[in-house]
Structure 1
Amino acid sequence: MNTETLLGLGSALFGGSAVAFVNHLGTREKGKAEADKLRAEAEQIRFQTSTHMSTGLSIDPKTEIPAWQVTGDRAFEDYEALLDSEVTRHAGCSARIDAMPRARGFATLMQSVDATPFRGQRLRMTAWVRTESVRKAAIWMRVDGPDGNMLAFDNMSNRPIKGTTGWCQYSIVLNVTSESLMLAFGFMLSGRGRVWADDFSFEEVGLEVPTTQTTPAGYEFLATPQNLGFDDPVGLLS
């Protein structure tokens, strides 16, 4: 039964309180769906990058960029990664990912490094990104611990880059805890368009700088216990 049907029934049977409650449920369901999508995207990138690194999959020599790897669920069928010496922030090259017509899935250009030098830090990664008619692009960073457990992750799912933009600076801030083993990072394109990236950098920041972690985003935590007698349906999880 969809939200519209529930609204009609609720209004007829119980009046405004029920309508407010159903409206809240609709919002809550939407939030849960967004959270589920966010977690799915995080797991997809974690799986794709981990699989790529663990199996040592080869990459197309035409798109090979020193120190960087290309991966993604449709990276070789629907995307191309290459160096660009014409569109850069300064002399030298930028990296670019192009989507083929009707591209599906995503592609990412990434690195994975030993996390040991960064342990105990709140780490900020910054990069410059330019886009052309993209559906969704982003930079991302992931921190893994023992047994491949993901300790921290942000792929800008809650603030993706869309459309056409000039060179803009974007940042991700994550905690690299003492048990961290690997740091993976890069930039990605999902769907149509073209994205450039240049000048990645890392720096330790103070605890006054908030993290940007997007997992486990979407989980709702209440400030105080609420509706303990189940008598306030409208206020439930408000």
Structure 2
Amino acid sequence: MKKIISKSFLTTSIILGLTLLSFTGIKEQTIKGWLLAGSKPDSYEIGVVKNKERGTNVAFMKSIDSEINGFGTIMQNFEPGKFLDKKVKLTCYIKSKNIKKWAGMWLRIDGVGKKSLGFDNMQNRPIKGTTDWTKYEIILKVPKEATNIAYGVLTSGTGEVLIDDFKFEIVSDDHKNTGHQGSIRLTKPTNVDFEESF
């Protein structure tokens, strides 16, 4: 059973990672600086609402179709700048409602030609169902050859997420990475018996 779960997780992570590298759709901007993208962006909507619990504006992304075979994401891209050759921690607060499949914050480090130099979408620690405000984090190294940093929150299937307070900070190299570091394309067959963990 452990081998089957590991294989499924690795395959899904690679497929989703590759999908995030080349979105099949991007909707027009409705929140300043943010895009709605993913494999099924027309199945979701994003916006900003006042939230009494947080005492501020928060973003939302929610499904508008009853069944969705794909995912949507609220996202941004920016130039690496001061983060080059540094280890970066991304945090934000997320509250979920009726997430049928899973949701997660994600961070992707791109190189020349959109080559993935680092990626984590929280699929190994997914947000499911209905949850209260929780702070999540991702830690990845931004190599000196990085050309773009992309990040956001995704939802696979139906449900709604509220999002607040994204924050990037530089951390020391002794912080453990939370996701994959390096290209999604492997240089040789790896973990073929599915016994290795991350």
66, 74, 85: which one aligns with 1:120: 85
Q: Could you tell me which residue of structure 2 aligns to residue 129 of structure 1? A: 94
Residues 1:46 and 2:21 aligned together: yes
Between Structure 1 and Structure 2, which shows a larger proportion of helix residues? 1
User: For the residues of structure 1 that align with 2:114 and 2:133, how far apart are their CA atoms?
Assistant: 34
User: For the residues of structure 1 that align with 2:108 and 2:131, how far apart are their CA atoms?
Assistant: 25
Equivalent residues, number: 188
Contact 1:140 1:154 (C-alpha < 8 Å) held by counterparts: yes
Q: Could you tell me which residue of structure 2 aligns to residue 72 of structure 1? A: 38
Contact 1:88 1:198 (C-alpha < 8 Å) held by counterparts: no
Q: State the secondary structure of the residue aligned to 2:146.
A: coil
Which 4+ runs in 1 deviate beyond 6 A?
Answer: none
- CA shift at 1:27, angstroms? 4.2
142, 152, 156: which one aligns with 1:176: 142
Query: What RMSD over aligned residues (CA atoms) do the two structures have, in Å?
Result: 2.4
User: For the residues of structure 2 that align with 1:34 and 1:121, how far apart are their CA atoms?
Assistant: 28
Alignment of 1:159-174 (within 5 A): 159-174=125-140
162, 166, 178: which one aligns with 1:212: 178
Contact 1:142 1:183 (C-alpha < 8 Å) held by counterparts: yes
User: For the residues of structure 1 that align with 2:128 and 2:119, how far apart are their CA atoms?
Assistant: 20
4, 11, 23: which one aligns with 1:36: 11
Pick the structure with greater CA Rg: 1
Moved more, 94-103 or 138-147: 94-103
Q: Deviations over 1:60-94 (max 9, x none)?
A: x6xx0001111011111x11111112466122x11
Q: Could you tell me which residue of structure 2 aligns to residue 152 of structure 1? A: 118
Letter matched to residue 115 of structure 1: P
User: For the residues of structure 1 that align with 2:94 and 2:129, how far apart are their CA atoms?
Assistant: 12
Q: Could you tell me which residue of structure 2 aligns to residue 108 of structure 1? A: 73
User: For the residues of structure 1 that align with 2:172 and 2:84, how far apart are their CA atoms?
Assistant: 14
Report the TM-score, using the length of structure 1 for normalisation. Answer: 0.72
101, 106, 109: which one aligns with 1:143: 109
Contact 1:88 1:94 (C-alpha < 8 Å) held by counterparts: no
- CA shift at 1:29, angstroms? 4.5
Q: Could you tell me which residue of structure 2 aligns to residue 186 of structure 1? A: 152
* Structure 2 residue runs without a partner (length 5+): none
Between Structure 1 and Structure 2, which shows a larger proportion of strand residues? 2
